[in-house]
Amino acid sequence: MDNGQQEKLFAGARLRRLRRELGLSQAEFAETLGISASYLTLLERNQRPVTARVLLALAESHDVDVRAFAAESDRQTLSDLTEALGDPVLKGAELDQRDIRELADAHPRAAEAMARLFQAYREAQGNAAELASRLADGAASPARSLLPLETVRDALDNAQNHFPQLEEAADALREAARLDELGRTQGMHDYLRRQHGAAVRVYDDSVMGGTLRRFDFHARKLLLSELLSPAGKDFQTALTMVLLDCADVLDAVTARAALPDPVTARLLRASLAGYTAAALLMPYDSFHQAAEATGYDAEALSHRFSVSYEQAAHRLTTLNRPTRRGVPFFLMRIDQAGNVTKRFGGGVIPFARSGGGCPRWPVHDAFRMPERTHTHHVELPDGSAYVSMTRVAARPLPGGGAALQAIVLGSEAKHADRLELKPSTMAPVGIGLTCRLCERADCAQRAFPPLQRSLKIEPHTRPLAPFAFS
């Protein structure tokens, strides 16, 4: 294959994803690019490469970052394929990184399908093991699959966690409730009373029965738990307003995602409702302006908008409006056991679907010193570098006490100059996505050997790493 052929850009999946994000038909999208609908069909099917003229039209018509768009492959898909093809059941296939990249570039839909099939396979394995364990213990049934969570996370990632229809709905609801005029809390309470005849009441945990929010349609009351902070009470009130008055737009955006089953669709709809509630409390334009002014300091933004640190950090991941973009962020929420309870990559960084995190990325230091924000500069084996900010947030628990969770907010290192908080040293620490996907041979903290390498057993040699591999 000659160099000219190697440099051709096939980006059908990315074009199709962008068109769906914009809510345009093929004919409408083709018109904005100055090409025919039939030619766009060929581009989306990877039957024609994307030309420089089309890339320029994307930049001019839709404010697309051409450099990011023209990246060789979807890095999350590459990570998923690497994990899948490293599984022992496919050991005989002997596919290397070049094969994986060529598959993702030339046949992105087939690559995504293979990655999803592997996720389903891993879930089936996990459920089977859980079922066997429960039957041995005399339990009745296995736990539900986690696959819907991954599917919803992928849907958010595919949209870059930005939904223009929901932003517009939040702005309209904010104006209808006169929040800028009456003040946020008072405005929301007045709106619920005026529009729905509903009062907002706060009750103790014994009355709430372990729930933080409940809307009583019969008594026309919104019941909130006293365990909630003032910011938490406002968010739950905003969420109730969204559920009552934005049902149509939530249904439309959920339907557009074309998810495989009703359970996953309901899970996405709940996530979209939370997105809209955040947009109601933190309007896009004013939040973007404040983010730029504060250097994207989530703590400063949480004070300015009277929201929690996690709410401010999560809102930072949504600033992807084509005409007014913020710094692209990824976000993780990790509990003290190491479970990732929230994750958004946004095309910034790939994540491993299973196998734990990297011990060289010291995000758990935040649990030992929860009073401050911990900053890190890290680098993946492929050379991509990131800066991250980690801070502990407390979530109230029914019956008293709180659960501590680490909120990890990060961006590519090239954006560090735009951030108020940055690592004290810019010398990166080499990390991996997870041990089974990382091929660093000199890691003394490795828990498992890489999936795609064979162990080397040498009785008279003890390397630095716990495992030696070919």
Q: Convert the pLDDT of each residue in 445-465 to its tens digit.
A: 887 777 667 777 777 776 776
pLDDT(270) > 60: yes
Euclidean distance between CA atoms 389 and 47, whole angstroms: 42
Quote the pLDDT of residue 3: 42
Share of the chain above pLDDT 90, in %: 41
pLDDT surpasses 60 at 429: yes
Quick one: pLDDT at residue 5? 41
Superfamily of domain 3-69: lambda repressor-like DNA-binding domains (1.10.260.40)
More confident residue, 327 or 260: 327
β pairing state of 324-325 and 429-430: unpaired
- Is residue 124 over pLDDT 80? no
**What is the band of 141 on the pLDDT scale with cuts at 50, 70, 90?**
very low
- Tokens encoding 103: 């598959």
Residue extents of the structural domains in the chain: 3-69, 75-145, 324-433, 439-470
pLDDT higher than threshold 60 for residue 132? no
Other CB atoms within 10 A of residue 117 CB: 11
Q: Specify the long-range contacts of residues 21-26, CB closer than 8 Å, at least 24 apart.
A: 21/158, 21/159, 21/160, 21/162, 22/62, 23/164, 23/165, 23/256
Phi, psi (rounded to 5 degrees) for 339: -75, 135
Question: What integer is the mean pLDDT of 366-378?
Answer: 90
pLDDT over threshold 90, residue 216: yes
Query: Averaged over 367-379, what is the pLDDT?
Result: 90
CATH for 324-433 is: 3.30.450
At residue 207, the pLDDT reads 87
